Amino acid sequence: MLKQMFKSIGIAFDGIIDLIKSENNAKIHLISTIVVIIVGFKLQFLAIEWLWISLAIAGVWVAELINTSIEKLTDLISPEINPIAKKVKDYAAGAVLVMAIWAIFVFCLISFPHLWMWLAFSR
Protein backbone atom coordinates (compact mmCIF):
# COMPACT_ATOMS: atom_id res chain seq x y z
CA MET A 1 0.00 0.00 0.00
CA LEU A 2 2.79 2.45 0.89
CA LYS A 3 4.63 1.55 -2.30
CA GLN A 4 1.52 2.32 -4.37
CA MET A 5 1.09 5.65 -2.58
CA PHE A 6 4.66 6.71 -3.39
CA LYS A 7 4.17 5.59 -6.98
CA SER A 8 1.03 7.75 -7.23
CA ILE A 9 2.87 10.75 -5.77
CA GLY A 10 5.69 10.21 -8.28
CA ILE A 11 3.22 10.16 -11.15
CA ALA A 12 1.66 13.39 -9.89
CA PHE A 13 5.09 15.05 -9.69
CA ASP A 14 5.81 13.83 -13.23
CA GLY A 15 2.66 15.66 -14.34
CA ILE A 16 3.77 18.89 -12.69
CA ILE A 17 7.28 18.64 -14.17
CA ASP A 18 5.85 17.92 -17.63
CA LEU A 19 3.52 20.90 -17.28
CA ILE A 20 6.46 23.18 -16.46
CA LYS A 21 8.55 21.80 -19.33
CA SER A 22 5.81 21.96 -21.95
CA GLU A 23 3.62 24.97 -21.12
CA ASN A 24 4.89 28.55 -21.33
CA ASN A 25 2.30 29.80 -18.83
CA ALA A 26 3.53 27.27 -16.29
CA LYS A 27 7.04 28.69 -16.66
CA ILE A 28 5.60 32.14 -15.94
CA HIS A 29 3.79 30.73 -12.88
CA LEU A 30 7.03 29.13 -11.69
CA ILE A 31 9.00 32.37 -12.00
CA SER A 32 6.18 34.28 -10.31
CA THR A 33 6.06 31.74 -7.48
CA ILE A 34 9.80 32.06 -6.89
CA VAL A 35 9.65 35.88 -6.96
CA VAL A 36 6.72 35.97 -4.52
CA ILE A 37 8.53 33.62 -2.11
CA ILE A 38 11.73 35.69 -2.26
CA VAL A 39 9.79 38.92 -1.70
CA GLY A 40 7.88 37.30 1.15
CA PHE A 41 11.09 36.32 2.93
CA LYS A 42 12.65 39.72 2.27
CA LEU A 43 9.60 41.56 3.65
CA GLN A 44 9.17 39.03 6.48
CA PHE A 45 5.58 38.03 5.87
CA LEU A 46 3.70 36.82 8.95
CA ALA A 47 2.42 33.24 9.24
CA ILE A 48 -1.17 34.23 8.40
CA GLU A 49 0.09 36.15 5.37
CA TRP A 50 2.04 33.08 4.22
CA LEU A 51 -1.17 31.11 4.54
CA TRP A 52 -2.96 33.45 2.13
CA ILE A 53 0.03 33.65 -0.22
CA SER A 54 0.41 29.86 -0.31
CA LEU A 55 -3.32 29.44 -0.96
CA ALA A 56 -3.12 31.91 -3.85
CA ILE A 57 -0.04 30.19 -5.30
CA ALA A 58 -1.61 26.75 -4.98
CA GLY A 59 -4.84 28.03 -6.53
CA VAL A 60 -3.03 29.31 -9.61
CA TRP A 61 -1.12 26.03 -10.02
CA VAL A 62 -4.26 23.93 -9.58
CA ALA A 63 -6.14 26.09 -12.08
CA GLU A 64 -3.29 25.79 -14.58
CA LEU A 65 -3.09 22.02 -14.16
CA ILE A 66 -6.84 21.65 -14.67
CA ASN A 67 -6.81 24.09 -17.61
CA THR A 68 -4.01 22.21 -19.35
CA SER A 69 -5.76 18.89 -18.71
CA ILE A 70 -8.97 20.23 -20.24
CA GLU A 71 -7.06 21.62 -23.24
CA LYS A 72 -5.25 18.32 -23.87
CA LEU A 73 -8.44 16.29 -23.49
CA THR A 74 -10.31 18.67 -25.80
CA ASP A 75 -7.56 18.34 -28.42
CA LEU A 76 -7.80 14.56 -28.16
CA ILE A 77 -11.58 14.47 -28.46
CA SER A 78 -11.88 17.22 -31.06
CA PRO A 79 -8.65 17.56 -33.07
CA GLU A 80 -10.45 19.56 -35.77
CA ILE A 81 -11.49 23.18 -35.29
CA ASN A 82 -14.77 23.23 -33.40
CA PRO A 83 -16.51 26.29 -31.90
CA ILE A 84 -17.68 24.34 -28.86
CA ALA A 85 -14.17 23.00 -28.22
CA LYS A 86 -12.88 26.57 -28.43
CA LYS A 87 -15.42 27.70 -25.82
CA VAL A 88 -14.38 24.86 -23.49
CA LYS A 89 -10.74 25.90 -23.78
CA ASP A 90 -11.59 29.59 -23.37
CA TYR A 91 -13.61 28.91 -20.21
CA ALA A 92 -10.79 26.85 -18.70
CA ALA A 93 -8.25 29.56 -19.56
CA GLY A 94 -10.59 32.12 -18.03
CA ALA A 95 -10.55 30.19 -14.77
CA VAL A 96 -6.76 30.49 -14.66
CA LEU A 97 -6.97 34.20 -15.39
CA VAL A 98 -9.49 34.76 -12.58
CA MET A 99 -7.30 32.84 -10.15
CA ALA A 100 -4.15 34.67 -11.26
CA ILE A 101 -5.81 38.07 -10.85
CA TRP A 102 -6.97 37.06 -7.37
CA ALA A 103 -3.44 35.88 -6.52
CA ILE A 104 -1.97 39.20 -7.66
CA PHE A 105 -4.55 41.03 -5.55
CA VAL A 106 -3.65 38.93 -2.48
CA PHE A 107 0.06 39.52 -3.05
CA CYS A 108 -0.42 43.29 -3.38
CA LEU A 109 -2.71 43.45 -0.36
CA ILE A 110 -0.11 41.67 1.76
CA SER A 111 3.13 43.05 0.35
CA PHE A 112 2.34 46.75 -0.09
CA PRO A 113 2.08 47.56 3.66
CA HIS A 114 5.33 45.64 4.28
CA LEU A 115 7.01 47.39 1.38
CA TRP A 116 5.80 50.77 2.63
CA MET A 117 7.22 50.11 6.12
CA TRP A 118 10.47 48.78 4.68
CA LEU A 119 10.91 51.88 2.50
CA ALA A 120 9.88 54.29 5.26
CA PHE A 121 12.12 52.86 7.97
CA SER A 122 15.10 51.42 6.11
CA ARG A 123 17.04 54.67 6.20
CATH code: domain of residue 43: 1.10.287.3610
Residues 6 or more apart whose CB falls under 8 angstroms from that of 3 comprise none
Which residues span the domain enclosing 47?
A: 2-121
Cα separation, 106 vs 52, whole angstroms: 7
114 confidence band (pLDDT: 50, 70, 90): very high
Note if the pTM is more than 0.85. Answer: yes
Mean pLDDT, all residues of the chain: 96
Q: What is the dihedral of CA 31, 98, 52, 23, to 10 degrees?
A: -30
Question: Is residue 27 within 8 Å of 98, Cβ to Cβ?
Answer: no
Question: Is residue 43 within 8 Å of 108, Cβ to Cβ?
Answer: no
pLDDT, tens digit, for every residue of 11-45? 999 999 999 999 999 999 999 999 999 999 999 99
Helices 2-22 + 47-77 axis angle, to 10: 80
- Number of domains forming the structure of the chain: 1
